[in-house]
Amino acid sequence: MNTQTIALPANDNILAILNFNKIANDLKREAVKAMGMAACQARCLSCGHCSAQRCGNR
């Protein structure tokens, strides 16, 4: 276990990092619609790894 003393960022900074993608109300409708996307599809769009963001793999 890492026992090094670490200076913690201020708590409000932490929460800003943990809740980075707060969206405005006018985008809520699209966001709710996107909840119908399959988990693997949503992951596929966010991983950014493969060249066209479509790996079509397991």
Partner 1 sequence: MNITTLHNNSYSYLRQTNEIVQGVVDDSRYAWTFTPPSEFSSMPEVYMFIIAITEQCNLRCTYCCYSGEYEGNHSHNSRTLCEGDIQAIYDFIAKTAKTKPIRISFYGGEPFVNYPLVQYAIQAGQQRWEDDVTFSVSTNGTLLTEERIDWLVNNGVELAISIDGTQPFHDAHRVDAKGNGSYTKVRNALAYLHSNTFNQYPKVVLMMTLPSVSKLMPIAQAWHKDEVLQHYAPTHISGLTPNFLQGVAKEDWETLKIQYIQLLDAYEQHPEWSVLQTFFDEIVSYWKNRLVFEVSESTPLSTCMPVNTKLYIDANLQLAVCEKFNDRFRIGSINDGIYWQKANEMTKEYYRKRKNRCTYCPAVRMCNMCLTSIEYTDDQWDTLCHNERLYHKLHMFLFCEMAERSMLTKPSVPTLHSEHCTLNEIEENDISALRTIFSDADTPRYLPDLCDIAQTNDGIKQILKSFRTYLSKNEGFLWGIRKHDTLIGLVATMDLSTNPTIFFAMHPKYRNQGYMQESVRLATQYICDTKLANELYTEVDVNNIASQKVLEHCGYKVKEKQSLRFLYCYQNNNTELHTS
- Contacts to partner 1 by CB under 8 A: 1-2, 6, 8-9, 11, 14-15, 17-23, 25, 27-28, 31-43, 46-47, 49-52, 54-58
Q: Which amino acid is at 33?
A: K
Distance of CA 42 to the CA centre of its chain: 10
Question: Cα angle vertex 54, ends 30, 41, to 5°?
Answer: 40
| Smallest separation (angstroms) from partner 1 to the CB of 15 | 7
| Smallest separation (angstroms) from partner 1 to the CB of 11 | 7
Structure tokens at 27: 């985008």
| Smallest separation (angstroms) from partner 1 to the CB of 35 | 5
